[in-house]
Amino acid sequence: MPKKTIAAVDVSGKRVLLRVDFNVPLDGDRITDDRRIQAAIPTIRNVIDRGGKAILISHLGRPEGNGYETTSSLKPCAERLSALLAKPVGFPSTNCIDEHAAAAVASMQNGEVILLENLRHHKGEKKGDPAFAAKLAEYADVYVNDAFGACHRPDASMVALPQAMAGRPRVSGLLLEKEIRFLSEALSAPKKPFVVVLGGAKVSDKMAAIENLLPKADAILVGGAMAYTFLKAMGKNVGTSKTEDDRLADARRMIEAAAKAKCDMHLPSDHVCSTAFSQSAGNIEVFEEHIKPGFMGLDIGPKTQMAFTQVLLGARTIVWNGPMGVFEWMPFSIGTKSVAKAIAEATASGAVSIVGGGDSAAAVEKFGLADKMTHVSTGGGASIEMLEGKAFESMNLLDNA
């Protein structure tokens, strides 16, 4: 069900409590990747350009909830957001629910922006505490969820807060609306051929997504370390490649299910391998079918790259979640890059391409191809759970369009 968005709410003179996802990587107090902050800009501007007062809340990192911690402060995010908006962003206190934060909210003028300190400095956030949520709810006339990356979590700001604001507008931000449109509604009736690309380390992380997508997909391309569990289940020699031996039966079941569903499951036919899990140490060789003892697969090989590319170029809808290898290391980056380039080319020819969050999003950014995709999700765990077909309570609490 489509959700009402902030664009449909009169925000002039209103206090708009905007749950964003500013959980960005930090090196000290330096932000190393600000994509999540940039992704929130359209919603923030939509509020302030129409005379609303934007009160931003977010988590950052994994503090224990024992109070203020310098290392997980959102102050660098406030400074970066100020630069991106080219206007001041208030950062009133080291506590999101103390009297200083409340006073800053009370004194806001139309069109102003403040960012409150890390929600997870309070135990109540992770516990979903209604009392903590009620204090946040006092700040607002309107609640906006624009934090797709946290939508699968039952945190206070995601569930108890909109519950506390029943009777007031509870709507989606523009980023969340886009995520829902692509990851949920587009997958309900994808243009054919529909191709799913799955990678990453563990079969267990993607098993539910495979089960949900098999009846809808025309082809599933499997790469990354998870492919070796499938190959081992088929009796292939995988050397010292990472496998989940307790999932071999599940892998066989998925292979059989794909055949019954008439979904082509493509596994790597050759592999770029090394004797060490290292960027520079170890001997590197390419093996077909069987990997020699002492070698581990760290990327798909050239034949697999060509085969995957051919499938992708014929697709009309593509969903990609998980890299084909250790793409951060140059010797094992070619497979992931070739898949990214093929998806970009298919998109240019009219395909709809949806890139899941986390490593896949980092990969297309690294290779300079993010803007060649139809949609790059900002959510890691949230995007894979949506591919599994799960419903999120945080979204269900928002007003329907």
Active-site entry in 358, 372, 379, 380:
358
Q: Based on the residue annotation, tell me whether 202 is a catalytic residue of this protein.
A: yes
Give the pLDDT of residue 382: 85
- 3-state SS, 132-154, equals HHHHHHCCCCEEEECCHHHCCCC
- Is residue 337 among the annotated active site residues? no
CA distance 18 to 15: 9
Last residue of a domain, one of 121, 151, 178: 178
Residue 95 counted as domain residue: yes
Residue 395, domain member (yes or no): no
Residues 363-392 have pLDDT tens digits of: 999 999 999 999 998 877 888 888 888 889
Please give the pLDDT value at position 185: 67
* Residue 267 sits in the same domain as residue 220: yes
Nearest Cα neighbor of 375 from 218, 176, 81 is 176
Q: What is the pLDDT of residue 206?
A: 86
Give the total residue count for the chain.
401
Phi, psi of 352 (to 5 degrees): -95, 120
- Segment 208-226 mean pLDDT: 93
Does residue 1 sit within a domain?
Answer: no
36 is catalytic: yes
Q: Give yes or no: residues 354 and 239 share one domain.
A: yes
What sign does the dihedral 299-303-309-314 (CA atoms) show?
Answer: negative
Measure the CA–CA gap between 163 and 183, rounded to whole angstroms. 25
State yes or no: is 314 an active-site residue. no
Residue 35 is predicted with a pLDDT of: 87
pLDDT at residue 168, rounded to an integer: 97
Residues 160 and 15 in one domain: yes
Domain extent for 148: 6-178
Residues of the chain with pLDDT > 70: what percent?
A: 99
| Catalytic residue chosen out of the listed positions 36, 80, 178, 232 | 36
Greatest C-alpha distance within the chain: 69
Residues 6+ apart with CB under 8 A from 35: 24, 361, 365, 378
* Domain boundary pick from 153, 178, 203: 178
Q: Choosing from 202, 242, 253, 341, which is the catalytic residue? A: 202
Residues 167, 207 within the same domain:
no
Is position 212 within any domain? yes
pTM of the shown model: 0.87
Statement to judge: residues 152 and 255 lie in one domain: no
Q: Looking at the domain assignment, is residue 399 inside a domain? A: no
Tally the domains of the chain: 2
- Per-residue pLDDT of 164-211, as tens digits, reads 999 999 999 999 999 888 887 678 889 999 999 999 888 888 888 888
* 157 and 201 co-located in one domain: no
Element (H, E) at 394: helix 393-396
Q: Are residues 145 and 207 in the same domain?
A: no
Residue 184 belongs to some domain of the structure: no
Q: In this model, does residue 343 exceed pLDDT 90?
A: yes
* Mean pLDDT for the stretch of residues 313-335: 96
Q: Does residue 45 sit in the same domain as residue 166?
A: yes
Same domain, 194 and 170: no
Q: What is the CATH number of the domain that holds 154?
A: 3.40.50.1260
